[in-house]
A and B are shown apart, each in its own frame.
Chain A
Amino acid sequence: MKYEILKLTNQPIFSTIQDEGRFGFEQFGVPNSGSGDKISFRLGNLLMNNSISDASIEILYGNTSFECLNDTQICITGSNMDPRLNGMPIKMWQTVNIYKGDKIELGSSKNGLRSYISVKKGIEINKILDSRSTHSIFNLGGKKLNMGDIISSSSVHKKNNLKKINFLRNIPNFNETEKLLHVTKGPEFNLLSEKSIKIIENNKFKLSNRMSRTGAQIEGEKLELKNGKSDIISDGVSAGTIQLPKDGNMYVLLEDSQRIGGYARILNFDTLSLWKIAQLKPGDEFKLKIISIEEAHQRLKENNDIFFKNNVHTEEKINENIFYVEGEEINVKIFGENNELIYVNNKPLKIDF
């Protein structure tokens, strides 16, 4: 069974269907693709009680609007694009009830690059090579979304379930002022000149406009290799690998990148920083810190404990009241740990205490 859930009512800047990624086809040259900010993406699926491999909508830059075609729940995570339901601000990082005819609007991104909309049971679309992820260049699998496209799911929420709302105890912080990204040493790190290593450790860098889901140029003082060469025998690379072509500008590979590369692999963003870069916009500045593989794993595990262990709580204790104003029925539901969540006629009212 397939249920139509959302219809795109404007032309998004760049929105695609993404899941965890496409693995196992690297030997045929197939890139991994998948969601860029895996923390936000996974938290979306977690809040929806979905499987980790279910697909969501990845919205870059924002300015995307939808019409709801069925009563169900969705969840918006990632960058804050000032989401609104029928003109009213709605909360992110929690499940939200939507009803047929509702209008969802996302404005421009405030504190990151990507938002995710998760739906119950994930988005229903044919798997290509075992994944629903979209490759942005090769048009392999998934879908680049256009105005008029309809998003379907294999399930909708039953009326009873709409009373339960899932929340997070810990929400990722998108508002750090000083961005510090962690890197591990790449296989060709030792070819860097002393001067270049000092530049990496001390300087500020900037994400350039030359950026896509396959990779991004990093702007900063140019680096050099001791032997002057930048070519290697083409070998394995991964998302997060920083290559140094002969022009001396670092180039970071992102989620849609190839898995074989021929330029010196000087550094590699650790997995946690890779997910963080996915939320950086062209022009954003950051510093680099070189860490060991062990430290990278430690960071990843700590992050996993914070966001993916006992982070979701479900609210079922709902105080429901019906008021009559000038003969019109108004349904008010109040719930949440501090009664901070108020729904008027089943639409969430955004109040920040």
Chain B
Amino acid sequence: MTTMEKAVCRDNNRARRQKKYVAFLIYALMALIAVILVFPYFYMVMKSLMTSEEVVGPVRFFPSVPQWVNYLSLFTESEYLQATLNSLYVIGFNIIAVPLSASLIAFSFAKLQWKGKKMMFAIMMATMMLPATVTQIPLFIMYSKMGWIDTLYPFTIPNLFGGGAFYIFLIRQFMMGIPRDMTDAAKIDGASTFRIFWNIMIPLCKPVLIYLMVTIFINYWGDFYGPLLYMSSSEAPRTLAYLIFLKSTEANAATQMAHMRMAGGVFMTLIPAVLFLIFQKQLIEGVTLTGSKG
């Protein structure tokens, strides 16, 4: 080997070593951030497995014996079970009603020609920036007059009408991307508009509808503020999010039953986390679709 080749070889070795060093640093940094961001959640899981003495005793990160029974008693205590069922009922209704009504409306915007379309679209888009608090007070009075307070109606019936501009807009954007000839062929064959909508458009919209269903699930699963406004009396049906809200804001919340509250919290996170893992591709694409194109 000439000295020249030796030098090149040495340089290569040094570059390789440097590269390894950089890679190590990057991984260490990523791991450190992961530990910091995951720690609160990890600690909640650990706390949910402790006994009632351990949660208030001297500092510890792990339970001496994992108390899986905490999760069992979560559901033998009927309030959590009933609250979960109520949440699932509201979600079950909306997961069907919102995509269905929203896609009817989106279809009229994306594929039909009619007078007044531009105006309706502009009005709908304007409602997107409308703060929810503006309508909440009159809706509360309206619901009281209709006898809807302390019932589940405020969380179901209003969603028969599209469930909000955002969902309709998303489906409309998706439908705009479906080429004309798909519907034109059916039209020549004499299919009615509704058949075109139902037999052609809906199946083609499956990806965006799945995204919608998952988002609706996650939103209603976590909604504590709606129940706080419309279902706050003690006889009202509880949803899981609202039950957890009540538990965490109780006067003596700091000390008593912390392990059970944490078990409730972990359970409540489980379903969104599983949904996210299954649908992560659609969800992230959805976020970026709404995020980067505005």
Binding partners A and B: no
